[in-house]
Structure 1
Amino acid sequence: MRAGRLVSLLLLLQTRGRMTARELADELEVSVRTVYRDVESLGSAGVPIYADRGPAGGYQLLDGYRTRLTGLTGDEAGTLFLAGMPGPAAELGLGSVLAAAELKLRASLPGELADRADRVRERFHLDAPGWFRGDEPTPYLSTVAEAVWSSRLLEVRYRRWKAPREVTRTLNPLGVVLKAGRWYLVASARERTTGYRVSNILEAEVLDAPAERPEGFDLAAFWQEWAERYERSVYRMTATVRMTEDALRLMAFVFPPEMSRTARDLAGEPGDDGWLCTTVPIESIKQGHVELLKLGADVEVLEPPELRERMAETARAMARTYLSTNATTASA
């Protein structure tokens, strides 16, 4: 345990340069006193590590010193190969780069670790897209990735859901995200940072102008907050419904996550007949109508009246169709 921590401390200084005892303690999840002891141990072992005093001080390695020790364990080696995503990498235009990097990594590992990595790849496979979804055409994904990687402004013609449907934007690209098989560009424009679906980009051109990356911008943290806010903003209405317990369980498989999760959280106790009341968030009357029809006769809409009437009209139309078909079949 301590040997691994010493290696981690050494690699932190090697990759990041000067770090304070508090910064090292936070990274290693130990006390500052433990960092003092570890630094002393590294110094005693001949590692050229020294401290700068004062408010701007910290520990650092002698200029030019690098260790060849990585401390890579079997689990870590396997995880590196598990993290490789050949499909998404190819979409980004990095397929050959990923293959070359993995080949070099595989060749550099000692026999036991290389075998461990190979076993992980043989036994685990990552399939990012959700079920029943075809691939989205993203002809400008590599252009988007180029702009992000080279920190250049990106001019796009973009199709959106509200009028005007097509707009032209000069974007400050900050990152790309693969979400459930869908690619998104995180970018800022006119002091607003948001996500753009790459499949909705109709034209894209990398401009010969530098992009500006906000200091301390955290792509993962931004995406999590933005995705949660987006989900909440989409559902502007609610429907009060009665449904069977079987229907509530089925929602997790056929409804968007936010709708099924909220319905479960707000569900009342089922009655003797197995029916319960709950509230379902919906985007609109039309969207709620389409989604709730998936539950067939196991759901009854109570509110709003417009949605209840639309469900009732659909039920009457289906009854006319099927009863008419049955009558025709019987007479034949």
Structure 2
Amino acid sequence: MSITLFRTLEMLRHVPREPRKITTSELRDRLAAANFDVTLRTIQRDLQKLSTVFPLISDERDHVFGWSWSRDAQVETLPGMDAATAITFAMAEEYLRDMLPSGVLELLAPHFDQARRVLDATDNGLNTWKRKVRVLPRSQPLIAPDVDPEIAQSVYDALLNDRRLKAVYRPRGREPREYDLSPQGLAFRDAVTYLVASHRDYDNVLMFALHRFLHADVTDEPARHLPGFDFDEWVQRGGFDADRHGEAIQLVAQFDMAVGDHLHETPIADDQHLARTDDDRLELIANVKDTHQLRWWLRGFGPDVEVIEPAEIRDWLIEGARQQISRYADASSGR
């Protein structure tokens, strides 16, 4: 295979989908990083020729001249997508539709479209798989907030390429402000996508919901690597429960047998112990972390669970029940 063909494939790989674009100077830098020495004139000439074959478009509306794949360009992978990969994309689309922001789904849409084309042309059981498999959430599903696709792409690019992000962000209930962010990680929680990043030269990390970004630009500045910071370890320590810190606790709780029976098959912890009590309830003893997620899980069982230990969680549930009874009593008396 000729060097020219290798270079062409590498160049096409770096051209983004509309509305994002890449300049010939940026392409030259990307090609140089891949050990292809080529002039701007050659890149421009190649792109002009390729645009007669591929759905490439040039944007000449402002002083930054750039190239993109058209928004509705079909994705063609090398090698082509096989049936097993196609069904994986089809199931991902079905399952992620209510989890991912619309902007992210829009970026994935060409891959989902190609998966449908592959399955439609496949004459075997895989093309009926999607109709025979369902993923059911245990909790009430929430509709994901809308995220600007350009902002989402900027966040992903900054995280992938270890670059700083200049952004305007509106914290909940406050006025927008500017941030100079060094991305550290990305997390999906329920229907919201969060960027975990440090601001300027501070060592602490903050969480930013993607749908609250008003603007985001990737810079050429390298992101700041926090000394000793490990994203996975931060998550495991309860980083998303900053006010709880995810302290390790021993949970002792007694469930009505019918609602607690699932813990035999889906344990809450590797070391959990289950035993039947004298009053025919199921007692759980497990070492877990005290997080909001744990507390909401316990609260969701309502009167079907009694927390014995720790006292702090027991008291928290008792106080919540008292407040709930008081609200219902006030509402009933006001009728």
Instruction: Specify the TM-score bucket, using the shorter chain as the normaliser.
Output: 0.3 to 0.5
* Rg (Cα) greater in structure: 1
Query: Which structure features the higher share of helix residues?
Result: 1
TM-score by length of 1: 0.47
